[in-house]
């Protein structure tokens, strides 16, 4: 489950560019041409952002040069072939991978690109806990989008994910309805790009089965993605939960292309002044305990997220001096037994740890 949110997030990013004009369509080769490139992405995740998504339709100009993504994080997104990844033997059919370092872990997303479509065939989340390395490996095969794509493309993606944590069974069912709802030009600080816009409405249902009891939650989110032929994904905006307005004005997640062909990660999560921290006990019943070793004074925001990385609570938000700090947070009764994430956002790094709530 650790990589589910990021996997879903990359699924949106990988919906290829489409007809820019009637004469243009995007083939599998256009995606494969990204191999060897690295893109710096800047992101505000879980931090509500005021946005104007702009109208749908042909020949539009979407100007996001003044869109504020400050206070978030940035990472390097590298497009690679199978041989240049450490888990190649797990996904022999992959010919396109994306590597990113986000939230204290290394994420490898594996895809197959062919003449029929773009297929998600798995992902690996590699991380360590108190110096012990772990790898979560997810395998599957489903079409994310048909190829080629064009201005009239519309498609649906249905996925189901089941994870057994011995005492807790988590079942996620997602259905995403996609359509290309506009084309034109997008303007961002990195440059002006001819683009297509994809409108994606995701319907999510999560079922947690614990001690014979079932707890079901459901919601829907709307995402707009601006995609180009040469620079790939340049901007995404995702709404708050259960948004019903197409022209929403508050985004829960914003991701934007900052630069192309960077050679080193922008944020090194292992650098000396990154905040060290632990969360215990795990599993947890009624109280979360957090210990932090702050190596650089400044603001630290600690959040509780659900298993799809949606913000539930702000545990703490304030300035911390250099040194050791301990926090306790009482879990509210409305939180059912399930998988959750605790995320810490500091000035120069973002990290996330999973916890399981039981009765």
Q: Is the pLDDT of residue 349 over 80?
A: no
pLDDT for the residue numbered 1: 42
Mean pLDDT of 227-244: 90
**Which of the two residues, 134 and 186, has the higher pLDDT score?**
186
Residue 215 host element (H or E): strand 213-228
Q: How confident is the model at residue 82 (pLDDT cuts 50, 70, 90)?
A: confident
**273, exposed or middle or buried, with CB in 10 Å at 0-12, 13-18, 19+?**
middle
Q: How confident is the model at residue 70 (pLDDT cuts 50, 70, 90)?
A: confident
Three-state secondary-structure class, residue 70: coil
C-beta atoms surrounding 136 within 10 Å: 17
pLDDT for the residue numbered 18: 38
pLDDT for the residue numbered 129: 64
Q: pTM here?
A: 0.68
Q: Is the pLDDT of residue 15 over 60?
A: no
Dihedral class, residue 57 (left if φ above 0, else alpha if ψ from -120 to 50, else beta): left
pLDDT for the residue numbered 274: 54
Q: Is the pLDDT of residue 337 over 60?
A: yes
Q: Give 228's contacts (C-beta < 8 A, 6+ positions apart).
A: 17, 186, 193, 194, 195, 196, 234
**Percentage of the chain surpassing pLDDT 90?**
30
**Which of the two residues, 303 and 82, has the higher pLDDT score?**
303
**Which of the two residues, 311 and 15, has the higher pLDDT score?**
311
Q: What is the pLDDT of residues 241-281, one digit of tens each?
A: 999 999 999 999 999 999 987 443 333 333 345 567 778 88
What gap in Å lies between CA 193 and CA 229, rounded to an integer? 9
**Which of the two residues, 47 and 265, has the higher pLDDT score?**
47
Q: Is the pLDDT of residue 13 over 50?
A: no
| Average per-residue pLDDT for the chain | 82
Which homologous superfamily is 276-357 in?
Macroglobulin (MG2) domain (2.60.40.1930)
pLDDT for the residue numbered 76: 86
What gap in Å lies between CA 215 and CA 261, rounded to an integer? 45
C-alpha atoms less than 13 angstroms from C-alpha of 201 in its C-beta half-sphere: 13
Q: What is the pLDDT of residues 105-145, one digit of tens each?
A: 788 999 999 989 989 999 988 876 666 667 788 888 888 88
C-beta atoms surrounding 59 within 10 Å: 9
pLDDT for the residue numbered 202: 95
Do 111 and 79 touch, CB atoms closer than 8 A? no
The answer to whether the peptide bond before residue 183 is cis (omega within 30 degrees of 0) is no
């Amino acid at each position: 489950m650790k990589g589910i949110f990021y996997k879903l997030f990359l699924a949106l990013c990988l919906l290829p560019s489409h007809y820019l004009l009637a004469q243009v369509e995007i083939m599998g080769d256009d995606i494969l041409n990204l191999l060897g490139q690295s893109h710096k992405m800047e992101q505000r995740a879980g931090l509500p952002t005021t946005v104007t998504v702009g109208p749908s339709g042909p020949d539009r100009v979407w100007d996001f040069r003044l869109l504020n993504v400050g206070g978030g994080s940035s990472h390097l997104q590298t497009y690679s072939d199978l041989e240049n990844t450490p888990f190649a033997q797990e996904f022999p059919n992959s010919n396109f991978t994306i590597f990113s370092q986000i939230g204290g872990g290394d994420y490898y997303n594996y895809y197959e690109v062919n003449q029929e479509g773009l297929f998600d065939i798995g992902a690996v989340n590699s991380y360590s806990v108190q110096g012990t390395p772990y790898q979560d490996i997810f395998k599957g095969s489903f079409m994310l989008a048909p190829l080629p794509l064009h201005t009239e493309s519309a498609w649906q993606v249905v996925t189901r994910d089941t994870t057994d944590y011995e005492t807790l069974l988590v079942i996620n069912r997602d259905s995403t309805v996609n359509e290309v709802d506009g084309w034109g030009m997008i303007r961002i600080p990195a440059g002006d790009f001819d683009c297509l816009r994809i409108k994606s409405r995701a319907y999510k249902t999560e079922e947690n089965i614990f001690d014979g009891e079932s707890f079901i939650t459901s919601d829907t989110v709307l995402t707009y993605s601006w995609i180009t032929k040469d620079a790939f994904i340049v901007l995404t905006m995702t709404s708050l939960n259960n948004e019903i307005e197409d022209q929403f004005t508050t985004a829960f997640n914003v991701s934007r292309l900052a630069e192309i062909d960077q050679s080193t990660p922008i944020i090194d999560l292992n650098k000396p002044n990154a905040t060290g921290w632990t969360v215990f006990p795990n599993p947890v019943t009624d109280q979360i305990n957090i210990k932090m070793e702050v190596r650089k004074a400044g603001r630290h925001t600690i959040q509780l997220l659900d298993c799809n990385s949606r913000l539930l609570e702000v545990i703490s938000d304030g300035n911390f001096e250099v040194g050791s700090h301990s926090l306790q947070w009482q879990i509210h009764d409305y939180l059912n037994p399930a998988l959750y994430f605790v995320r810490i956002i500091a000035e120069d790094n973002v990290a996330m740890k999973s916890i399981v709530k039981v009765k």
